[in-house]
Amino acid sequence: MGRNSLGHYFWNISATIKVTRPDGKIFTWNSTRTRTLVNGAINSWSPTDEYNVTGSANGVDVNGLSFTAQITNPLDWIMDCYWIRSGTVNITPSGKPTRIIDFGSGTCDNKITVTINGITYNVTLP
């Protein structure tokens, strides 16, 4: 897309995925995101390149239940880290409370928290 008002390169990404299982059940996922290069150069592909991601998604699970997801604080990702370093996503399954996924405060680790109805669970990602 070019540069944003802060001079950072950014890309708008839209995706629609439909998966049909062998048993005929279908999963759909629609996403619109913006990825911004906040540290690094456009053609460097350096391990220190850092991106922020914002946006939302929605879909229907294999049981026919809809869900929405909204990035409420930009997801921060650096190329030399396997995990997202910080940011939050709210995921709301149809008829159920919102799940707040918190990726932390900037440390490259596999620790997140999930908050449902005010109760916070510590989760270690594989």
Q: Where are the domains of the chain?
A: 2-124
User: What tokens were used for 38?
Assistant: 């906040």
Q: Would you say residue 119 has pLDDT above 80?
A: yes
With a cut of 80, say whether residue 43 has pLDDT above it.
Answer: no
pLDDT of residue 47: 85
Distances (CA, A) of 22 to 25, 27, 28, 65, 96: 7, 12, 15, 19, 28
Residue 118: what pLDDT?
A: 97
- The string of pLDDT tens digits covering residues 77-118 is 998 999 999 999 999 999 999 999 999 999 999 999 999 999
How many other C-beta atoms are found inside a 10 Å radius of the C-beta of residue 75? 20
Q: What pLDDT sits at residue 1? A: 83
Is 101 in contact with 89 (CB distance < 8 Å)? yes
- Across 52-74, average pLDDT: 97
Could you report how far apart the first and last alpha carbons of the chain are, in Å?
34
Beta bridge partners of 27: 19
